[in-house]
Amino acid sequence: MTARRLTRPTWLDRVSDFSTQAGRGWRTVAAKELADHVLSRRFLVLLAILGLAALATVYFSSQLIRDAATQASGSPALFLRLFTVTGDQFPFPFFGLVSFVLPLVGIAFGFDAINGERSLGTLPRLLAQPIHRDDVINGKFAAGLLVIGLILASVTALVAAFGLLRLGITPGAGDVARMIAWVVLSIVYVGLWLAFAMLCSVAILRAATAALVAFGVWLALSLFFNLVASLLAGALAPAAGTAPDALVANARLEQQLTELSPITLYQEATVALLNPSVRTVGVVLPQQADRAIPSTLSIDQSLLVVWPQAVALVALTVLCFAVAYVIFMRQEVRA
Amino acid sequence: MATSALDRAAPGSRPARTRSRAKEPIITARGLTKMYGTFTAVDRLNLDVYPGEIFGLLGPNGAGKTTTILMMLGLSEPTSGEVRVAGLDPTRRPLDVKRRVGYLPDDAGFYPTLTGRQNLRYTARLNSLARGTAEDRISTVLAQVGLADRADDRVETYSRGMRQRLGIADALVKDPDILILDEPTVAIDPIGVAEMLDLMRRLVQGRGIALLLASHLLDQVQSVCDRVGIFSAGRLINVGSVDELARRYGGDRSEILVGVEAAPRTDAAAIGARLASQPGVVAVEPRPMSGDGDLNWALTLDPKASESETRAAVLRAILADGLLLTRLTRTSPSLDQIYRTAVEGHLATKGRVEVRSTEPGTGTQTSGGRRPRSVGRRASRRGPSARKGERR
């Protein structure tokens, strides 16, 4: 008992421990992971895909906007249309493409984070160094997010610059702020998928299985979730006949259910951020829209609209992280 | 009964009498126990390791060696008991412990696309070594393990033995006070092993570090360890120097080795028969030795007979036959034999205890219960025969 009390770390030990080590371990891991990522094939593939997508979308959408510019002059936030407009030749807007690609990127950078180290046999060696166990997860997450964030930000800047050249329209301060907010939101969204992929990599010992599970979840959410939500809504609040109350209840429930999916959350938030004329992402009744003056929201009002979605995305990320922590801490070092 | 006798013979009760150690032990374990569910991986372990010594942890696979090491590093939490490394509790201050302990895990891996030097650099950074000192140390340890000329090749081009050398270098980078190596020589060729063992010797003597070596390659351990501890089914069943253990386990067994130069017309069978007829000789067994063309026999002696008289008799017989004697030595049991005797004895007593405890009522279910390893079952299967052969 006395021996135990003697060796218990004092607050001074803890403080010195914190200043010398606690801040450093994850940074060392992150620096190494960053170097690995930048030299890796998946980084180059990601860069190539996103770059090509950006160029294609911005080329066709700027074409479209130029053609329609005469009618569209004076329409709000014309510049942001670069990101949202779709043409006949290339039926995806930039943001649509990004929202499709981001989860895949997050999974690609995270699915083998921990189990990869395990199968290389480097995990016991790594954990025998004077770092905390969570430093490994934190460092890897930080490095992955930083790399993806940098690519995303630079590709978005590239699109904006290209559009600037072709359209000759300078974006206003509000447009720039919306763009930045959208990039930040996208980084949060990709962080969620990265955290989820890392959770899989902690919980599932084989990297290939972890990747399959993560992709499977993404596929299920993006393909079937809306279907399931509408079926559930139909069962729980049937839209019988044409009774307006029932219809509204049904629509509300369905929307609430779909908002359980991060994909829906991100898409709603994206639409509200990039299109200032969107005033709500919820169900709008005809009497509410009746005689409403078509106007645009300022950036802070748009941020208020997307706030719940953003908070939900962050919360889901934190949840993935927490579960991954708990599992990793309890795991034996030997597989 | 036999179990408790073994218990008493075990670890802590055997203070450092073999050498003068004024020093405090740098690793101590008291009643250290680790359970996985109902399976006991490490069972009430008591152990002291002193600075400046090489301690060998010997045991078959799954005996609890690695689990013990992981608890020393704070990578696994003991179910009960306590362990102190450099005076620190690894579960409470893992970072301080890990800063002072160099550890080479069993089957250690490296990042294949990085070079050997880059891999070590990562370890150095994780130990927050300053850049200059780190580079110096990396070059030094790479030279020490004989990898200096391959240091800047990617690890994926290394052979398994080279990886193992790199692993030893990796454990040395942080300039540890304590070095824990788990099966460090498995994949290294014999000459390399000699070099590595020599390196370990020099490190221990030069810097006074404590080296804990877990291995099942007994002949290597025998040549380098100051003391060894024999692990079996989670228990440390004996601790001591190789000589002490030899006396303890081979006390009533004596053997002499006889070698005769092979000439074209020597009749091996006849000589064997002649040796067998000498007084005090119980059994004769031809024992080919590598390296020479001689004929060798191992003679097992009657414990009651005088060994020196037997040797004299053998010598006279050989001379009388006009043969050229090349070897006539007394052999002590090798670590290999000690180990087998110790482990089998332990498993046999363990098996018997288990069989006895399950006899009333439900038969053998308990011993088969939730025991992932086959140790228990093998023990009870071996029980009866071992019981017969066991000496009291």
For residue B85, give the chain A residue with the closest CA. A7
Is residue B338 packed enough to be buried (19+ CB in 10 Å), middle (13-18) or exposed (0-12)? buried
pLDDT in tens, B4-29: 443 333 343 334 344 445 578 999 99
Contacts of B66 in chain A (CB under 8 A): 334
Give the type of residue at B389: G
Question: What is the maximum span of chain B, computed from C-alpha positions, in angstroms?
Answer: 73
Which residues fall within 8 angstroms of residue A280, CB to CB, at 6 or more apart? A305
Give the model confidence (pLDDT) of B186-196 as tens digits.
Answer: 888 888 888 88
Residue in the block written with tokens 């006849």: B270
pLDDT at A317 over 70: yes
Tell me what pLDDT residue A77 has.
65
More confident residue, B327 or A188: A188
Predicted confidence band at A5 (pLDDT cuts at 50, 70, 90)? very low
E strand or H helix at A93:
none
Asked whether the predicted pLDDT for residue B387 surpasses 50, the reply is: no
CB contact under 8 A, B103 and A128: yes
pLDDT tier, A314 (very low <50, low <70, confident <90, very high otherwise): very high
Flag the least confident range among A116-125, A161-170, B273-282. A161-170
- B73 contact residues in A (CB cutoff 8 A): 128
pLDDT at B30 over 90: yes
**Inter-chain CB proximity A333 and B128 less than 8 Å:** no
pLDDT at A218: 94
What's residue A39's pLDDT? 85
* Tens-place pLDDT, residues A11-46: 554 554 444 445 578 888 999 998 888 888 888 888
- B101 close to B180: Cβ distance less than 8 angstroms: yes
Maximum Cα–Cα distance for chain A, whole Å? Answer: 85
Is the pLDDT reported for residue A76 higher than 70? no
Q: Does B110 touch chain A (CB under 8 A)?
A: yes
Quick one: CA dihedral A53, A54, A58, A59, positive or negative?
Answer: negative
Q: Look at residue B247 in the predicted model and tell me its pLDDT.
A: 75
Residues 263-282 of B with CB under 8 A from A: none
Task: State the pLDDT confidence band at B347, using cuts at 50, 70 and 90.
Answer: confident
DSSP state of B115: B
Under 8 Å between Cβ of A93 and A99: no
Per-residue pLDDT tens over the stretch A274-300: 877 777 777 666 666 676 666 677 778
Q: Mutation test of the interface with chain B: which of A18, A28, A125, A330, choosing the one with the most B Cβ atoms within 10 A?
A: A125
How distant is the alpha carbon of residue B200 from its chain centre? 15
pLDDT at B362: 38
pLDDT at B171: 94
Interface touch B95/A130, C-beta < 8 Å? yes
Residue B32 dihedral angles phi and psi, to the nearest 5°: -70, 125
Q: Do B92 and A9 make contact, defined as CB atoms within 8 angstroms?
A: yes
Name the band, by pLDDT with cuts 50, 70 and 90, for residue B251.
low
Cβ separation of A130 and B87 shorter than 8 Å?
no
One-letter amino acid at A166 equals R
Tell which wins on pLDDT, B337 or B58.
B58
Pairing state between β B281-286 and B295-301: antiparallel
Q: Which strands form B255-260's sheet, in the order they lie side by side?
A: B281-286, B295-301, B255-260, B325-331
User: Rounded distance, CA B227 to CA B220, Å?
Assistant: 13
Is B95 close to A21, i.e. CB distance below 8 A?
yes
Q: Inspect the interface and report whether the beta carbons of A120 and B167 lie closer than 8 Å.
A: no
Does residue A93 have a pLDDT over 60?
A: yes
Return the pLDDT at A323.
Answer: 95
The answer to whether residue B1 scores a pLDDT higher than 60 is: no
- Percentage of chain B with pLDDT > 70? 81
The string of DSSP codes covering B13-26 is GS-STTTT--SPPS
**pLDDT, tens digit, 9 for 90 and up, residues B312-345:** 888 888 888 888 888 888 776 677 777 777 777 7
Nearest residue on chain B to A37, alpha-carbon basis: B113
